[in-house]
Structure 1
Amino acid sequence: MVGCPILVIGRSGQLATALGRSNSPGLHCLGRPDLDFDRPETVDTAIAEAAPGLVVNAAAWTAVDAAEDDVAGAERANRDGPAHLARLCAARGIPLIHVSTDYVFDGTKGAPYVETDPTSPRTVYGRSKAEGEQAILAVHDRAIILRTAWVYSPYGRNFVRTMLNAGAKNPVLRVVGDQRGNPTSADDLAGAILSIADTIARDGWRDAFAGITHAAGSGDTTWHGLAVAALQDAARLGRPMPVVEAITTADWPTPAARPQDSRLDCTRLHDVFGVRLPHWRDSVARTVTTLLANPAA
């Protein structure tokens, strides 16, 4: 497993939880209040005391709609804090893996996005994440930006868990069916990050690692398709199967405009790091099984 100390930032989030549950030796998770991007001095202290060989930033402001009303908060969490972290890592020669999002795109391309496509965010959240990417790359030449999408897991709040809870209480659900993307298991993404860490520890740093890489579940679907799949898996385990009606984005207005088609092309992840995430359908089934076995996770 990983041969150098890894500091994971974002202790209570889905990805940080998945990384922590991997039980990888040398991996240490820190989050608020011990490490808080709103208090830069805590970041300085954490880096100095942990002396990591690799840092993974899994912390972010991910409340997409709430960001529209707190622009400064989203910018601190998604741009300014990560940029400060990147400067600290650069000064010490520590590689940094920073997790970003498909929401840096507006979803109008009509085909999966590659890393070199220009960003065009439609939301405060997406803009703050896009600006965070560029701020990191401007100050650190050993930074890996992993863009992912539609993250779910057995831990914390996420779409799959919300659908299972709703399906247990309601005979009919209405779910948006005209937005398309790549559902990504936090456990699968954690495995990809640890594989990248292994490669760096084993082979040393290579310049080809640096920059932006897409890392999302294989295959794509809509929110409606993801809901149906999760609920079908739950039904096979004894839960009731509700009727799931597909609605349009216009039928479910939100403060922040979601991209219509934010599919990510993950070819670079395989070509550079030899990693390919499992198909989303298989991973959803595993997540549902875990959730129903331990609903309080």
Structure 2
Amino acid sequence: MALEFVCGMNRMSFMRRFDDLQTEWQLQQLREATSNFENPYTLMAPPFEKPAENLPKILAHCGIEMNFDHGTTTLGFKYQGGVILCADSRATSGQYIGSQTMKKIVELNDYMLGTLAGGAADCVYWDRVLAKECRLHQLRYRKRMTVDTAARIICNISTEYKGMGLVMGMMLAGFDDEGGKLIYVDSEGMRTHGHVFSVGSGSPYALGVLDTGYRYDLTDQEAYDLARRAIYHATSKDAYSGGIVRLYHINDLGWKNISNTDCSELHDAYYCGEERGPRRDSEGGMKAGQQKPCFSGWTKRKLPEDVQAKLATV
């Protein structure tokens, strides 16, 4: 047998075993399936065209249930003190809660963070790849990767895998030579700079609070309160959001984890129900010095005089 191997006779068709062809096919499939171990940007594509459209048809034909429901609430905004990122921690699988402690804000380096929204596996994998690229960039060029470069990498990946079932909506926030930045990137290849973003199934509720209370000249404590308040109200209305509210602050010194607060604790501070509301006097008004917990200084805004005049006329 050793002489056959040295002479190459074992590769001749009449010298091969009947199961060698099957073994070679299995090894080839294994090499293709694990190609991302050598090249993290190369993943094995599904064995059929247009996976996002055809996979449900295949599952229906086979009688297999596979629920792709997604749910989360993440938000970010820029203000005079830097960039704020806040997110819940609930991971759902269809109608079931898979985890209450998932970390949806990922530390890419000391000055940049990324958020997860969409398919957990997709977001976690590509965030790890991006974190590796950030570290390699810093070792090669002896300077940090900019937020724009990181967003471009994710945008190129999303474009390459567009239409293959990738579900991902990420925010990249960081601080570089140009100051604080907040960029939204999704699985459709869209890349957008902005001051206020919210991603996930609970984002409409969070944006409602942000639209009411956001302004650029917020103090640090007002920004922390606004972010926690927005995530709390989203978790109270959206069944797919909940768990722990994680709050991060990014400035020229790097990122800092401000708090990790359970939603039940925020409920006591922000809930506006009558049964939990402030006590009233005999005439039905609120007692002096008391107000509903859902109100704070940043929501009290006076309407412009011309608007007040129009309202008075009506």
* Larger RCO, structure (CA 8 Å, separation 6 or more): 1
Instruction: Give TM-score scaled by structure 1 length.
Output: 0.25
Larger Rg: 2
